[in-house]
Chain A
Amino acid sequence: MADQIRVNSDPRAAVTGDSVKPIDLRKRPRIGEIIIQTMLYACGFISIFTTIGIVYVLGHESLAFFASDEVGLVEFFTNTVWQPQIGEFGILPLVNSTMMVTVIALIVAIPLGLAMAIYMAEYASERVRAFLKPVIELLAGIPTVVYGFFALTFVTPWLREIFGRDVVQIYNVMSAGLVVGILITPIIATLSEDALSAVPSGLRQASLGLGATKWETAIRVVVPAAFSGIVAASIVAMSRAIGETMVVALAAGASPQFTFNPFLPAETMTGHIARISGGDLSYQSIDYNSIFAIGLVLFFMTLILNIASRMIVRRFREVYE
């Protein structure tokens, strides 16, 4: 103790004393650090390279498709018949059925998912919420082929029971749309719940303090304050519905046709790609190339949705301190 005090009492001794070694502060190479940094950098760029690769393949094959004499760009986007066998390549029937499935799914999923989210964020006790949220997330983990089977063997018979067997076909858009709606409900529910829970509790207290009920508070204050998050959740869910393949392949049918009747069979873009690419088409045939063109359109649709989602989130986000 006494020793220590003596040393500390003259700090200059450490600097000026001859016995103290000088400290080397010069830069030195750190090979390990550089390697790790480079690897992490590369990992970060893999996602970009993958996207570029996908766009390249889609674009390259699509170019071969559009360059052929059998099809023109205008015809591709305006013709309402898709029958590669007879050289009719109009993407509208496929886009139309994709949009029908998506709209039906969103009509189911937005109210249901939002109601779940409002219940979890505003009404459920801590214990109920701790139980419910994992269960809803589990719902999102069920393989989509199971959902497809559920549509075909449960929802379709049920629809045919209600609306009549001659009205509702075995394969139909409605059944697929309803089940895709159930499939994307957890996405809307959990993402919206996050958005609602992030609303500062001061806003709820202010509203309740003015004599509003819980429901008025939820609908008129909390939901509008979380609006951007709810819209973003809906758009993520919409992209998921557009891209969903297994349910529509199993339940919606395999005949591309241009119809607005949801009880008739129709083939979506993804369903068609799945069917054709699973079949025994020869490479370099025009049929084979056509699915890349469809894929490219799908890619742009989801890309635009993603961009829109970002813009909406930025535009409507409320900034709290």
Chain B
Amino acid sequence: MAMKAIDPQYTADTKYALEVRNVDIYYSAFRAVKNCSFGMERNKITALIGPSGCGKSTVLRSLNRMNDLIAGARTEGEVLYRGQNLYDPDIDAVQVRRSIGMVFQKANPFPKSIYDNIAYGPRVNGWKGSKAEMDELVERALRGAALWDEVKDDLKKSGLAISGGQQQRLCIARALAVEPEVILMDEPCSALDPISTLKIEELMFELRQRYSIVIVTHNMQQAARASDNTVFFLMDKEDRAGQIVEYGPTEQIFQSPKDERTEQYISGRFG
């Protein structure tokens, strides 16, 4: 069975790196997210915000088919990437994840050396280069994640032996090493102290030049200061399904929201 590869030559001049159209996501019979449509602009940071249980992480995980790993999870509708629907039956989820990387809530470095953590992705993706080229790739990924100067002398040290903030940047570097186009971040700073958080936010601004970033965050201030566009999710009280209330440029969402519920949420009246 030939899997349709994602066409690397595709350079459609679309505004969006990823676009979600009429997506409904189910966990078995329960509809967790409904009628979801929005676009994620190229080389921008899109923040998904909303109270717990509103489906924002579920939507994020649908963008690189991580929901496939949950038994009973099902996605209806279209997620468009390079002109293709990622949920077409002939799209290979493993290939999708090579182009759309992910950084998780809890830093999860492998119990391997820092070097091997970075080299893992390229290796499973059929790396053919020399040792020197791999050294270069590891350095580039670590520099890209602003971690190189801190760990360059300890590349053999276990990825678990560095601080929490460093571990999270290691995970970002690991994602960069496979050279994805889009990076999904699921509350990447929720377990970090303010200084580490700031470092990651600065890093996101730098990464934006080369990647498109989608970030789920609980932290209003973070969404306000570290994103270009914001999508606000809320749970429909009747059927408990998450849905989009409003989305647009972050400035507009935070300063002149159109929907009353958005205004209430960002001003901290609930959630």
Contact = CB atoms under 8 A, between A and B. Distances in A.
B160 A211 contact: no
Contacts of A205: 66, 69, 102, 104, 108
Contacts of B66: 205, 208-209
A2 interface: no
Interface of B: 64, 66, 69, 71, 94-95, 97-98, 101-102, 104, 106, 108-112, 120-121, 123-125, 160, 171, 174-175, 178
A165 interface: no
A206 B69 contact: no
A137 interface: no
24 contacts: A202-B108, A203-B110, A203-B111, A205-B104, A206-B104, A206-B171, A206-B174, A208-B94, A209-B101, A209-B102, A209-B104, A210-B97, A210-B101, A210-B174, A211-B125, A212-B94, A212-B120, A220-B120, A220-B123, A221-B110, A221-B120, A224-B111, A318-B111, A318-B160
Given A211-B178, A319-B160, A206 B110 contact: yes
A230 to B, nearest CB: 14
Nearest to A126: B71
Nearest to B102: A209
Contact of A220 (B98, B124, B174): B124
A16 interface: no
A13 B48 CA distance: 59
- In this complex, the member of A212, A224, A319 whose beta carbon has the largest number of chain B beta carbons within 10 angstroms is A212
Contacts of A41: none
A115 B253 CA distance: 53
Contacts of A216: 124
Nearest to A217: B124
Q: How large is the interface on A (under 10, 10 to 19, 20 to 34, 35 or more residues)?
A: 20 to 34
Interface in A207-247: 207-213, 216, 220-221, 224-225
Contacts, number: 73
A202 B97 contact: no
Interface string A187-205: 0000000000000101111
Interface string A139-167: 00000000000000000000000000000
Nearest to A125: B71
A211 B110 contact: no
B110 A207 contact: yes
Contact of A211 (B71, B97, B108, B109): B97
B121 A210 contact: yes
Contact of B112 (A212, A213, A224): A224
Contact of B124 (A125, A200, A212): A212
Nearest to B111: A318
Given A205-B102, A206-B110, A210-B121, 12 more contacts: A200-B108, A203-B110, A205-B104, A206-B171, A206-B174, A209-B66, A211-B97, A211-B98, A211-B124, A220-B120, A220-B123, A224-B111
Nearest to A320: B160
Contacts of A212: 94, 120-121, 124
